Chains A and B, each alone.
Chain A
């Protein structure tokens, strides 16, 4: 009997043990999720800004411009194109609110040298401006590092080059996959499916050999390993423009699309959805032309929407979509139509026999702002022979009063205010050579801010940075 009881007890305990289940697998940690593609913004903390398109040599120079609200220490690191060479660094302090500009040629003049700008506090923001006698290109540097980037507005039509620079400022090696989207639908190029970008280096890919003769070329850049900062460069015989990759959003605002007599287009691509209705509103100094143009966008095919025929310059554009999209404004020199209807009406011929004709120089592009904000910090640059203009767009239904103050090196900011009517834009010219390198804007309603520079070197459009 005792033996039986013992056996029964042991069996019962053993069965209880047998039916126990394995613990659930451990949840992966909640960090490291750089797949979150957040629009860039200036944050009230230390920040690192990545500026891939920086060059300083015999012909080309670059400025890195940063604006800040608090006192900050700024460290500029320029990577050296020579393999295994230590990066060059420069540091400075900026009394906030203030702004400063560093000519990268003063730090390192060896050609291409992407930059990393570390700012010890915030809100602060950085832009890079690359220029020569023949072109000017500028846009904001980026502060976030998502795994997937959207770059729209490229083209490989005859006379136009599109390049993507993949900048890996980090320790780890990166592996990148690039997918092209054009009027011929998805362009998968095997050579672009696995591109190695070693840590602390960059590589520039010219799309002419891979995807030639594409009028519209949009790209997704996905880092399958590590992180890269891509930027798109578009070059033609009239100039050069660059703009960074973006995250997708349902709304994009471009406070200025027209500058220097260029013909603007809006390039859009779907972030995955089909049948997306994209609507363009044209916002002029006088008011808004709602639903000025509407297209239906599929996942596999980007769209290049001409907008020059919708209103007289200057104007901004608001892009609305039923699903997240990526968008950029590309402005090119107008091509004369045989029927005389094309372009902005200005003469674009280079020369006529015996006498020079008006020559419009320029190629511009910019990413927009995904959300209006009542606080903006805008680093700006001025160059001789070029006009810098600050553009404010109010797409709200109420008039916005905007206080703005110029930020300069060490001087107390000079402030002013301006009224921006509902559904309109306003441009504020910035004097050249007086040491102003930024603006701090504060409004009682959400607004969108950008700036442009145009002149002898061409045109550049630059998005502002919300706080």
Chain B
């Protein structure tokens, strides 16, 4: 039986397929000014399922056709104006062109499946699929599941439940719409439709896609509205999820957005403002969101699990970022094919792919223990401070905590590490891993890019990169524990590449190149200041060898600008320090088996002899670099110190790496004359040796850095709760076993560190201050045997423990360790610790001992890089740091070569040095400006 309701006319062809009950449908066209309204309205008029009428909602339309229809600014007003007999509302976006049977299909499927919301299949005018319903991830990010170029061939034509509809064409039951509170007018279109679907699902309604309902709608550039979609997306899930779900979804979403922002920077996109603006918008709209959330979750019939059923696993954003990164990487590798499904099979058969995979695996294995444990505490490699903000505050004119403290600027490496720490949300050891693994990957990648300058292929370049970041020289640097130089290995080839890469003869690219060079040089100098001195002379020699090459001299110019600009970016540190002093500190002598230098020499000679003439000159230049680096690494007799040794090794590694690339390229070049390839074959033996040596870097899982020493050595300081935060440790013993710098008293090395383990901020000691001099005097008293109560003399410095490094026991005892042990063994107010300690450890019998002690003998623990305790209105607190008027709250007094300040506020403050802070802020501004300029110029390109 066919029921025909008055005022409803149906196409007879469809009558047999339609349900017995006919619905009344009103059409709401969402106008956004994007154009195509006339087409949309025409298509609505051609529908075989006649609608009860159409209204326009949104932007005020123009044109004759539009003026004939009622217009409303808000959806709610429009729906209210529609007659009460209407059962369904059909929402169409301006520009959508539904097929004539689109509506009837929607209505049929809605009634047949008893669904609350039904969406159409959206195709482009080129028949490309735009949407066949959406799933989302748990964060509400929509996912179509379609390839970008996927054509509609009916492959998705099945009616099914979906998380949401695209919002281009959807049919909504009117009573449902009223029950869920209507469409959120504050939201962007896609997010609003997802929001509506989710709220409907909470009430028990189904959301389906009806592929038979086809709507033509071309994709539009939504980037202008991106932040609004982001903000709406957050608001959407906040409305529907339970508090338990929100407790983890919100922070994860925040973090993922941050990651997307940071990674996208490297992909030439800038999402920072969108990310920040979306969260700020949600903060501002939190009251209305909470109000709507209450409405959405009241009388719900489904839980969060019902929503999860229609969501995909993982994060859509992370997947997109990952895919984009891979695509970007692929573009930078040699080969013209883009990363498509078709090309993958060919790719994995390429040597470059295999070597690249090995390189990535090598990095992952080589840095695996840093993920779990962070940087080992040994020598100049110490854990990154736990709070990045404190470090940045200290770097920008604040208090340097090394030893007994100073106002000397911290190394810029600390600022870089702090920024990474902050960007990784202070999560575990992620910052250290990002730094370490990132540097290694960057080094390999940088070497491939550098060698590409001379048309060396990807596979030989990757081999060269592996030798460069993991070979004997890299392991030598790691063995020296100069973590800054280890990290700078990742930037050095980029610095050269930025200078050497061809640039177009236009002003903007040229300036962008200079800006990029300044940034790269600045980063390199920040990680290892001495490396800043490497590129310019290296490129001068390069240009001299290629005298007629204007690009080479342009590279010298870029290096000059980069060196100067990069040095300025090291402010305020650079004004406090002298490169000469850094270069001469210690004694450079790289002790290694002769096998490795010989292997390097063989590769260099073969590279010069066997390579094609143009590349052979490059190999000769690289051999010269390697030789100079090797000499610097062993040039202690010329006054070079240990940091110069590390930089020398970096230069040697760079030179050998380039030679390896040249030799490998020659061997693998089947078009090269046989004699060249034959000679190059000799170099393969050297490369094999270097690669074998490089492979050993995976054994420790710490990039070749030695194992942790001080975390274990000083574990005992954690035994009594709170003591570590209140006390210092005096380390004595051989200088080469100290964490970072040390000082001497009558030939014996010593230094003071924080418990439970010194961090990277404590590696470099400033010149002695007054309190340092007082400590030196006390130690003189002890080593001269003039006191038997050194514990009492050390207590004012906050020193509770004394640790004798090295073997101080038995026949094989180190003479220095033994001498120190004798000093402290003969003291009356020290007690030995024997349980659970690997070294000779003495603890003072004095009580209380504290770095900050009030006049009422209350001990204030170290909180971050300051001190805090209970407020004592009339008391004073004595701070065992070198005296400085910056300490507060006032009045400040210098007492016994230390600081005395008021205890009234319950915290010790330090006023940053104004000029230094200003310099740091200017540097920050400069970095942001240069970065912005480079990115903008890249996008313009």
Which residues of A are found within 8 Å of B632, using beta-carbon distances? 17
**Measured between alpha carbons, how far is A176 from B747 in the docked complex, in Å?**
28
Given the complex of chains A and B, what is the CA–CA distance between A30 and B780 in angstroms? 12
CB within 8 Å for A10 and B623 given contacts A3-B617, A26-B735, A172-B832: yes
Given A6-B621, A13-B628, A32-B822, does the pair A169, B828 have CB atoms closer than 8 Å?
yes
Within 8 A of B (CB), among A169-188: 169-174
Pairwise interchain contact A227-B826, C-beta atoms closer than 8 A? yes
Q: Could you say which residues of chain B place their CB within 8 Å of the CB of A145? A: 826
Q: Is the CB of A29 within 8 A of B626?
A: no
Q: Which among A12, A14, A200 has the greatest number of chain B C-beta atoms within 10 A? A: A14
Contact A46 B786 (CB under 8 A): yes
Chain A residue contacts of B605, Cβ below 8 A? 7
> Which A61-116 residues have C-beta < 8 A from chain B?
77, 116
Q: Mark B579-604, 1 if CB is under 8 A from A, else 0.
A: 00000000101010010010001001
Compute how far the CA of A16 lies from the CA of B632 in the bound complex, rounded to whole angstroms.
Answer: 10
What is the CA–CA distance of A27 and B636 in the complex, to the nearest angstrom? 17
- A16 to B, closest residue via Cβ: B631
What is the 8 Å Cβ interface bit string for chain B, positions 809-822, against chain A (1 contact, 0 not)? 11000011011111
- Cβ-closest chain A residue relative to B744: A29
Report yes or no: B626 in contact with A10, Cβ–Cβ below 8 A. yes
Closest Cβ of chain A: how far from B912's Cβ, in Å? 39
In chain A between 426 and 465, which residues have their CB closer than 8 angstroms to a CB of chain B?
none
B contact residues, total (Cβ < 8 Å): 64
Question: Is A20 an interface residue, CB under 8 A from the partner?
Answer: yes
Chain A residues within an 8 Å CB radius of B591: 22
Which A135-151 residues have C-beta < 8 A from chain B? 145
- In the complex, the chain A residue whose C-beta lies closest to that of B621 is A6
A324 is an interface residue with CB less than 8 A from chain B: no
Which residue among A11, A31, A199 has the maximum number of chain B CB atoms within 10 Å of its CB? Answer: A31
A17-B633, A34-B822 are contacts. A2–B828 as well, Cβ < 8 Å? Answer: no
Q: Looking at the complex, which one of B601, B747, B823 makes contact with A27 (CB distance below 8 Å)?
A: B747
Given A10-B620, A13-B631, A28-B816, CB of A34 within 8 Å of CB of B748: no
The SS class assigned to the A binding surface is: loop
Cα of A447 to Cα of B545 in the assembled complex, Å: 86
Asked if residues B842 and A172 are in contact (CB atoms below 8 Å), the reply is yes
With both beta carbons as reference points, the residue of chain A lying nearest to B600 in the complex is identified as A14
Residues on the A chain within 8 Å of B735, using CB: 26
Given A30-B747, A31-B748, A46-B787, A23 contacting B823 (CB threshold 8 A):
no
Please provide the chain A residues from 1 to 49 with a CB less than 8 Å away from any CB of chain B in the complex: 2-3, 6-7, 9-14, 16-18, 20-23, 26-34, 45-46, 48
- The complex places the Cα of A9 from the Cα of B613 at a distance, in Å, of 18
Query: For chain A residues 346-364, which have a beta carbon within 8 Å of chain B?
Result: none
**A29, A46, A172: the one within 8 Å of B748 (CB):** A29
| List of A residues within 8 angstroms of B597 by Cβ | 14, 18
A226 within 8 A of B: yes
B825 on the A face (CB < 8 A): yes
A-B interface contact total, Cβ < 8 Å? 154
* C-alpha spacing A28/B814, complex, angstroms: 9
CB pair A9–B624 under 8 Å, yes or no, is yes
A13 neighbours in B (Cβ, 8 Å)? 624, 627-628, 630-631
A225 interfacial by beta-carbon distance below 8 Å: yes
Contact A20:B627 (CB < 8 A) given known A31-B823, A34-B822, A172-B825: no
A285 within 8 A of B: no
Determine how close the nearest CB of chain A comes to the CB of B111; give it in whole angstroms: 85
Give Cα A268 to B589, complex, Å: 54
Kindly report which residue of chain A lies nearest to residue B545, judged by CB atoms: A2
Partner of A14, one of B631, B784, B830: B631
Q: How far is the CA of A17 from the CA of B818 in the complex (A)?
A: 35
Residues of B within 8 A of A118 (CB): 788-789, 828
| B608 interface residue (CB < 8 Å to A) | yes
A226–B587 Cα gap in the complex (Å)? 34
State whether A3 and B825 are in contact (beta carbons under 8 Å apart), knowing that A23-B589, A28-B819 are contacts in the complex.
no
Least CB distance from A35 to B in Å reads 9
Q: Let me know if B734 is at the binding interface, CB within 8 A.
A: yes
- Tell yes or no: B634 within 8 A of A by CB: yes
A17 to B631, CA, bound (A): 4
Q: How far is the CB of A89 from chain B (nearest CB, A)?
A: 11
| A188 to B631 CA separation, bound complex (whole angstroms) | 56
- Among B545, B608, B785, B825, contact of A226 (Cβ-Cβ < 8 Å): B825
Contacts of B623 in A (CB 8 A): 6-7, 10
- Is B62 close to A, CB under 8 A? no
The verdict on B609 contacting chain A, using a C-beta distance below 8 Å, is: yes
Q: How far is the CB of A51 from chain B (nearest CB, A)?
A: 14
A22 cross-chain contacts in B, Cβ below 8 A: 589, 591
Complex CA gap A6/B747 in Å reads 45
CB A125 to nearest CB in B, in angstroms, measures: 16
Residues of B within 8 A of A33 (CB): 819, 822
**Contact status A11-B627, CB under 8 Å:** yes
Expressed in whole angstroms, the minimum distance between the Cβ of A137 and any Cβ of chain B is 25
Residues on A with C-beta less than 8 A from B788 are 48, 118
Across the interface, do A29 and B840 meet the contact criterion of CB distance under 8 Å? no
Which chain B positions have C-beta within 8 A of A171? 824-825, 827-828, 830-832, 842
Contacts A14-B597, A171-B832 known; A28 to B747 CB distance under 8 Å? Answer: yes
Residues of B near A226 (CB, < 8 A) are 825
In contact, A32 and B608 (Cβ under 8 angstroms): no
- Is residue B616 contacting chain A, with contact meaning CB distance below 8 A? yes
> Given A20-B636, A31-B746, A31-B784 in contact, is the A6-B620 Cβ separation under 8 Å?
yes
Q: How far is the CA of A30 from the CA of B620 in the complex (A)?
A: 50
CA–CA, A174 to B821, complex, Å?
A: 12
B832 & A2 in contact (Cβ 8 Å cutoff):
no
**CB of B834 within 8 Å of the partner chain:** yes
Which partner residue on chain B sits nearest A22 by CB separation?
B589
B637 within 8 A of A: yes
Instruction: Closest B residue to A175 by CB, please name it.
Output: B809
Which chain A residue lies CB-closest to B625? A10
The chain A residue sitting closest to B605, CB to CB, is A7
* A172 and B840 within 8 A (CB): yes
Across-interface contacts of A7 in B (CB, < 8 A): 604-605, 608-609, 620, 623
On chain A, the residues within 8 Å of B831 by CB distance are 171, 199-200
B652, closest chain A residue (CB) = A17
The answer to whether A3 and B616 touch (CB under 8 A), given A29-B747, A173-B832, is: yes
* CB-based nearest A residue for B816: A28
- Which residues of B, 838-896, contact A by the 8 Å Cβ criterion? 840, 842
B783, CB-defined interface residue at 8 Å:
yes
- B627 and A10: CB pair below 8 A? yes
Query: Which residues of B are found within 8 Å of A225, using beta-carbon distances?
Result: 809-810
Of the candidates B620, B630, B747, B832, the one whose C-beta lies within 8 Å of that of A3 is B620
- A13, A14, A171 pick with most chain B CB within 10 angstroms: A171
- Chain A CB within 8 A of B635 CB: yes
A23 to B637, CA, bound (A): 8
Q: How far is the CB of A170 from chain B (nearest CB, A)?
A: 5
Q: CA of A12 to CA of B628 in the docked complex: distance in angstroms?
A: 10
Beyond A17-B635, A46-B786, list 17 extra A-B contacts (CB 8 Å): A6-B621, A7-B620, A9-B624, A10-B620, A10-B624, A14-B631, A16-B631, A22-B589, A26-B735, A27-B747, A29-B746, A29-B748, A31-B819, A32-B783, A46-B787, A118-B828, A199-B832
**Contact sample, A vs B, 26 pairs, CB 8 Å cutoff:** A6-B617, A7-B605, A7-B620, A9-B627, A11-B601, A13-B631, A14-B630, A17-B630, A20-B589, A20-B634, A20-B636, A26-B734, A26-B736, A28-B816, A31-B746, A31-B822, A31-B823, A32-B820, A33-B822, A34-B785, A48-B828, A118-B789, A145-B826, A173-B834, A174-B825, A227-B825
Interfacial residues, chain B to chain A (CB-CB below 8 A): 545, 587, 589, 591, 594, 597, 601, 604-605, 608-609, 613, 616-617, 620-621, 623-624, 626-628, 630-637, 734-736, 745-748, 783-789, 809-810, 815-816, 818-828, 830-832, 834, 840, 842
Which residues in A have some Cβ–Cβ distance to B below 8 Å?
A: 2-3, 6-7, 9-14, 16-18, 20-23, 26-34, 45-46, 48, 77, 116, 118, 145, 169-174, 199-200, 225-227
